[in-house]
Amino acid sequence: MQFDAAYFDQVIDRRNTDCEKWDDRSIMNEGGIPLWVADMDFPCAPAITDALQARAQHPCFGYNIDNPANEKALIGFWQRRHGLAIRPGQTLMLPCVVTGLKTCVRCFTKEGEGVAIVTPVYGPFYDSIRVNRRKVMPVSLLRDGETGRYSLDLNAMEEALRNGAKLMMLCSPHNPVSRLWSAEELAALCRLAKKYDVPIVCDEIHADFVYQPGRFVSILSIPEGQDRAVMLCSASKTFNVAGLQQAAMVCRNPEMLKALRAGIAEAGVFCGNTFALAAARAAYEESDAWLDGLIAYLDGSRKLVFGLMAKYAPKAKVTPIEATYLAWADMRAYGMDCEQLKEKCRTAGVAFTGGTFFGPEGEGFLRINFACPRTQLTEGIKRLGQALEEE
Ligand SMILES: Cc1ncc(COP(=O)(O)O)c(C=O)c1O
């Protein structure tokens, strides 16, 4: 099968499938175009549907063993795609990455202690800290007003650590500002973590969405940090199977791994569900061609986003997209806050994620999910233009 532009251009009707992106009427009216939640409107790799169908043929769905084949598939994928060596026994299976964030907060900090996060960032980073009654210590990214590109504020990170943060939680590549952190940037953060003796949790769920000339660098390959880091990953984002729920934590430090194992056992999390495991194995072992085709398509769409925004929302400033399928648009020149922007967009029949979902720095910004057929992306941004015209 060819995973070319024609394949990813296929329009699939996802309505009425309990699909958050399409069926959540609190976000979007009937007939709207959803360019919001990080979920792709593409068919998943055929090897995955084949594996699920094959497993469904067997009529028994009882308890599973923790089959080493699952870990082997994950290890093989990370070695092949990212050159990262993970040893058997260094991974723990999870239902989702957010479970991993919460587990790490509970395992490595105590109630009332602070967790440093680099903001604006994926909303559940805040919730993972708050629901566990820890303190969010936000470290704002620096934004270049000219280019819209973001960079780390290492001084502010050091200040958070000096002020008592007990854990550093990173998103790499960074959702929502589409930054691919370099080895140097990660190493600088690792040196700070070492200086203040705190663990690092790095959410690498977007690792596979990286565009040329960039190259993804895992926190686990940074010599200064690998003994104090936990990497969170998942086939769910890469292969668009988030509804199946299967993720993993990877850690090289035996003491930390022991604490994490106890933490997930305490929460009652075991080896994963039958279908999720079958899907993850097929994704990791048999879907490289699909993934290569996907990245090529997204790369084209990434360029299309800039053209469409220049045409339909010319006062917006879109941050350069080094990674992820999410574009971060500064809409402040239109003089509306996120709620007003979202309301106008709802009326015009399109939905984006409002920037404040990622923290207060996101006020006046929209995040655009461009992982959909290009006809849909084009129509969605055209509708954004109509929403802005109604001013
Ligand atoms: C940075 C980041 N982490 C985690 C998640 C959610 O992952 P999961 O569904 O495995 O909890 C997302 C989903 O958008 C994300 O962008």
Domains of the chain: 5-44+288-389 (3.90.1150.10), 53-286 (3.40.640.10)
CA of 251 to the centre of ligand 1 (A): 19
Q: Are the beta carbons of 303 and 377 closer than 8 angstroms? A: no
Ligand 1 centroid – CA 390 distance (Å):
34
Q: State the CB neighbour count (10 A cutoff) for residue 266.
A: 11
242 C-alpha to ligand 1 centroid (Å): 9
At position 88, the amino acid (one-letter code) is P
* CA of residue 123 to ligand 1 center, whole Å: 9
Distances from the Cα of 168 to the Cαs of 115, 192, 197, 199, 264, in angstroms?
6, 10, 10, 6, 20
pLDDT at 391: 53
Ligand 1 cavity residues, CB under 6 Å: 38, 96-98, 122, 171, 175, 203, 205, 234, 236, 242, 247
Q: Which parts of the chain sit beneath pLDDT 70?
A: 390-391
pLDDT of res. 293: 98
The Cα 98–Cα 36 span in angstroms is 18
- In angstroms, rounded to a whole number, what is the distance separating the alpha carbons of residues 125 and 169? 8
From 175, 181, 324, mutation site for ligand 1 pocket: most ligand atoms within 8 A of C-beta: 175
Q: Is the dihedral of CA 212, 84, 48, 208 positive or negative?
A: negative
pLDDT at 269: 83
Q: Which of 40, 170, 205, 244 to mutate to test the pocket of ligand 1 (most atoms within 8 A of CB)?
A: 205
- In this prediction, residue 390 carries a pLDDT of 65
Only one residue has tokens 């497993």, namely 55
- Look up residue 37 and give its DSSP letter: S
Index of the ligand 1 atom closest to the CA of residue 175: 1
Distance from Cα 97 to the centre of ligand 1, integer Å: 6
pTM: 0.97
Q: What is the pLDDT of residue 250?
A: 98
Q: How does DSSP classify residue 25?
A: T
Q: Indicate the top mutation candidate among 20, 92, 94, 98 to test ligand 1's pocket, ranked by most ligand atoms within 8 A of CB.
A: 98
DSSP code, position 198: -
